[in-house]
Amino acid sequence: MNDLNEPALSDTNQTLTTDGAPPHRELTERIAYASEPFQKIVSQVNQVLVGQSHLVDRMLIGLLTGGHLLIEGVPGLAKTTAVASLAKAINTGFQRLQFTPDLLPADLIGTQVYRPQDQTFVVQKGPIFSNLILADEINRAPAKVQSALLEAMQEHQVTIGGETFALPEPFLVMATQNPVEQEGTYALPEAQTDRFMLKVVVDYPTRDEELQILRRMGKTAAKTEVQSVASPEQILAAREVIDEIHVDQKVEEYIVDLVMATRCPEAYGLPLEGLIQFGGSPRATINLTLAARAAAFLAGRAYVLPADVRSIALDVLRHRVMVTYEAEAEELSSAAIVQQILDHIPVP
């Protein structure tokens, strides 16, 4: 078994071309060039945020792959601030939508408006027609509004009055939800949560980070402006580079085994019988591969390591594994089950 920090056994980075140069060198140089704007984004966001490096990394992975993010955490952990800061660091469209119980689908996607002067209906587009969408407290909106997001998130288009409209690219939804307060909230349906590439759980800061927050933000005028340092074109160009990042066959099989183990744990010798109601779908396999490619891109590599897969697997799978009542009785969460799978499946 290889060390997690080493390339897979058949990694082609170890061979040389006819001129003696590594075959990944040209791609590595392109990755270094394409990743510069994202390093600047991190620098800008860190001027506002203290800690939360895990959240910032996951937001970049979502941006690089076009995968939507579900961000969960108690109030006051800078979830909204993180997404707003990311949007400001990119010279692109941004809409913050505060989800409430009285929100209607038309408030999100738009509607047809009657014009009496010429007796016609015209389409008035809603705030969903932007590049970055912050769906704040998404679980406060009723099912109709949550369902209105499905077509937009999956197809990057919406239908208004029988007419279909494409959404601008890049298009990314980052939704926040409060896991504690249940009053006036609606659980996200499984079809909705599966559309999110990643579910990121934000925890409290450490003592040192809390002290930094106090010193930076404990003032009446504690505001830091975030500068735009990246463009939509640079994001789309980076996505083309990510598609070229090499995934070794052994790493591909490792990804498939992780997802298959959430469906048939007994086939992999895992003592989880009766604890998993539903496992990850093929969308989980696709998203795990894309996210691992993006992680390799951010690390400046032209190939994916098993460590890239392991580092992102929990956030890709935790919201796709539905546990049974027996698991809840044993106080086993989906995250704990996914962690057991990660610890059990051999790393190539």
The predicted-structure confidence for 288-315, as pLDDT tens digits, reads as follows 999 999 999 999 999 999 999 999 999 9
Give a yes or no: residue 170 inside a domain: yes
User: What percentage of the chain carries pLDDT values higher than 70?
Assistant: 90
The predicted-structure confidence for 54-89, as pLDDT tens digits, reads as follows 999 999 999 999 999 999 888 778 888 888 888 889
Position 121, amino acid: F
Domain housing 300: 245-348
* Of 151, 144, 153, 191, residue with least CA distance to 174: 153
Helix axes 25-34, 36-45, angle to 10 degrees: 40
Per-residue model confidence (pLDDT) at position 181: 59
Average pLDDT, the chain: 85
Which CATH number does the domain housing residue 156 bear? 3.40.50.300
- Verify that 220 and 101 share a domain, yes or no: yes
Per-residue model confidence (pLDDT) at position 249: 94
The predicted-structure confidence for 128-167, as pLDDT tens digits, reads as follows 998 888 888 888 888 788 778 877 888 888 888 778 888 8
Give a yes or no: residue 35 inside a domain: yes
In this predicted structure, the answer to whether residue 220 has a pLDDT above a threshold of 80 is no
Per-residue model confidence (pLDDT) at position 49: 84
Overall domain count for the chain: 2
Distances from the Cα of 9 to the Cα of 1, 4, 20, 186, 250, angstroms: 9, 12, 21, 47, 8
- Verify that 231 and 249 share a domain, yes or no: no
Distances from the Cα of 11 to the Cα of 183, 249, 329, angstroms: 52, 9, 44
| Residue 175 three-state SS | strand
pTM above 0.75, yes or no: yes
The predicted-structure confidence for 42-52, as pLDDT tens digits, reads as follows 998 888 888 88
pLDDT class of 19 with cuts at 50, 70, 90 = very low
* Of 74, 143, 134, residue with least CA distance to 103: 143
């400046």: which residue's tokens?
300
* Residue spans of alpha helices (H) in the chain: 25-34, 36-45, 53-65, 79-88, 105-109, 143-155, 190-193, 207-217, 232-242, 249-263, 282-298, 306-317, 325-329, 334-344
- Verify that 298 and 315 share a domain, yes or no: yes
Per-residue model confidence (pLDDT) at position 9: 42
Give a yes or no: residue 103 inside a domain: yes
In this predicted structure, the answer to whether residue 339 has a pLDDT above a threshold of 70 is yes
Which CATH number does the domain housing residue 333 bear? 1.10.8.80
- Domain-ending residue, one of 207, 226, 244: 244
Give a yes or no: residue 17 inside a domain: no
User: What percentage of the chain carries pLDDT values higher than 90?
Assistant: 34
Give the chain's radius of gyration (CA, Å).
Answer: 22
- Domain-ending residue, one of 217, 244, 271: 244
- Verify that 252 and 185 share a domain, yes or no: no
Token digits of residue 142: 């009723």
Give a yes or no: residue 8 inside a domain: no
114 strand-pairing partners:
121
